[in-house]
């Protein structure tokens, strides 16, 4: 089976991350999956962005949780990347999901709840309620660095697939796998490299696999997936190693 190529925040390497242009490009490049991150605004809207603050990827400052949707929509989330993307807005979860539906995306949609630094009140219930209202052509996978979010989401969605995210510590990942709460591990590629002789028999989808060397390493070992900023380049390398 081919190793799945999952676009990290969309085609983050060549488009402004976590924006509709980045997700459109990932689909265009044939990504098998899309990974993104969800926060909550001051007025309880589900917001797609990686950081807890808007400082790094927009022309604004401050925490997402302290801003309304209207305030967030006035920010430029593309200009930092290049002139061609001036005026690109921060998307909501609904806008991303509707784009994927419109584009007939049928792969994996890995939604990370960004609750490891800010525990947004009710975000698990809001995400579950929204996603469960949709007729989705794609498969949803929930992940988080925050164990309590995984526990809450699993209680709300016991039949959905879950993944443990981690950089170094595997305590909760091992516990959740034993208890059948998670099916997949999404470890830092550096952890994978350091434990290459003792890798567990679980579905591995390392992040962030960007170098040609790391891509080849993962494809040769037929990991279940890789999470990468460059899905187009990954597809070319996978073709050379795995065919298909």
Cα 99 from Cα 96, distance rounded (Å):
5
* Domain at 227, CATH number: 3.20.20.190
**Catalytic amino acids?**
8, 50
Segments in the chain forming alpha helices (H)? 20-28, 69-73, 93-102, 123-133, 147-156, 171-178, 189-194, 212-220, 231-242
pLDDT score, position 200: 87
pLDDT score, position 240: 98
**Number of independent structural domains in the chain:** 1
pLDDT score, position 169: 79
Relative to beta strand 46-48, strand 203-204 is unpaired
pLDDT score, position 168: 79
Positions in the chain short of pLDDT 70: none
Relative to beta strand 46-48, strand 108-113 is unpaired
pLDDT score, position 205: 98
Bond from prior residue into 64 cis (ω within 30 degrees of 0):
no
Structure tokens at 40: 């909550």
Cα 71 from Cα 87, distance rounded (Å):
14
User: What's the domain range around 175?
Assistant: 4-242
Diameter of the chain by CA atoms? Answer: 50
């Amino acid at each position: 089976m081919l190793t799945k190529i999952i676009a990290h925040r969309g085609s983050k390497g060549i488009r402004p991350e976590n924006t509709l242009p980045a997700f459109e490009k990932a689909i265009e490049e044939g990504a098998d999956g899309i990974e993104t991150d969800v926060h909550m605004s001051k007025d309880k809207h589900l917001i797609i962005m990686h950081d807890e603050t808007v400082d790094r990827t927009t022309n604004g400052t401050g925490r997402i949780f302290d801003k309304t949707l209207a305030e967030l929509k006035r920010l430029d989330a593309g200009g930092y990347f290049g002139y061609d993307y001036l005026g690109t807005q921060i998307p909501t979860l609904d806008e991303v999901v509707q784009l994927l539906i419109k584009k007939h995306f049928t792969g994996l949609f890995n939604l990370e709840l960004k609750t490891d630094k800010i525990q947004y009140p009710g975000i698990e219930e809001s995400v579950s309620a929204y996603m469960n209202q949709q007729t989705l052509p794609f498969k949803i996978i929930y992940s988080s660095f925050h164990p309590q979010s995984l526990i809450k989401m699993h209680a709300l969605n016991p039949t959905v697939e879950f993944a443990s995210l981690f950089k170094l510590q595997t305590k909760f990942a091992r516990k959740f796998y034993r208890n059948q709460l998670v099916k997949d591990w999404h470890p830092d590629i550096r952890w994978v490299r350091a434990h290459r002789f003792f890798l567990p028999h679980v579905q591995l989808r390392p992040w962030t696999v960007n170098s040609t060397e790391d891509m080849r390493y993962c494809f040769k070992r037929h990991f279940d997936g890789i999470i990468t900023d460059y899905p187009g380049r990954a597809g070319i390398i996978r073709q050379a190693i795995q065919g298909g």
